[in-house]
């Protein structure tokens, strides 16, 4: 009876391996989340805006809950409605979808800047999600009037 048992063990091992690979998703950091198009317009005061797109290639809805950065006393997540904006507790990153932060829409606000970053510099920030691991983003600082070439 030793050979069938050995075969069963081998099948179990293969099954465990397949589960492990599936759990890794696309193999990218952040469990299927990736960040692109990040930039900060060079700030004119002690506040700065930040824009980026979070793509969710996974099958699980997630939420951007908070953002931290060593250059700001606080980073808040803002939603824009018409001409006014308001702080929100989080923004959804739907499964197989995207969260787009863009000029005129949802955005990050870096408040109480400890220094004023200049065009050409890079600002480091960390995105904290409800489900996925935190993602560190190196955000380039662009000119005050910079706009991305095309949509996201």
**Residue among 8 and 47 whose Cβ is closer to Cu ion:** 47
DSSP H/E element including 75: strand 72-81
DSSP H/E element including 19: helix 2-23
**Residue among 78 and 98 whose Cβ is closer to Cu ion:** 78
Could you please report the per-residue DSSP string of 27-73? Answer: S-TTTTEEEEEEEEEPPSSS-EEEEEEEEE-SSS-EEEEEEEETTEE
* Least distance to Cu ion, CB of residue 91, Å: 13
**Residue among 109 and 134 whose Cβ is closer to Cu ion:** 109
Q: For binding to Cu ion (CB under 5 A), which residues are involved?
A: 78, 85, 109
**Residue among 29 and 109 whose Cβ is closer to Cu ion:** 109
* Least distance to Cu ion, CB of residue 48, Å: 10
* Least distance to Cu ion, CB of residue 78, Å: 3
* Least distance to Cu ion, CB of residue 118, Å: 21
Q: What are phi and psi of 42, to 5 degrees?
A: -50, 125
Rounded to a whole number of angstroms, the CA Rg of the chain reads 20
């Amino acid at each position: 009876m030793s050979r069938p048992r050995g075969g069963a063990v081998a099948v179990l091992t293969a099954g465990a391996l397949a589960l492990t690979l599936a759990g890794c998703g696309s193999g990218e950091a952040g469990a299927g989340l990736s960040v692109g198009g990040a930039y900060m317009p060079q700030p004119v005061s002690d506040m700065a805006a930040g824009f980026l797109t979070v793509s969710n290639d996974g099958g699980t809805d997630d939420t951007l809950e908070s953002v931290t950065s060593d250059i700001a006393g606080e980073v808040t997540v803002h939603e824009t409605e018409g001409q006014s904006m308001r702080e929100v507790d989080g923004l959804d990153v739907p499964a197989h979808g995207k969260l787009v932060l863009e000029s005129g829409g949802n955005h990050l606000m870096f408040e109480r800047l400890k220094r004023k970053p200049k065009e050409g510099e890079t600002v480091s920030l960390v995105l904290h999600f409800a489900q996925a691991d935190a993602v560190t983003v190196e955000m380039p600082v662009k000119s005050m009037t910079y706009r991305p070439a095309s949509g996201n």
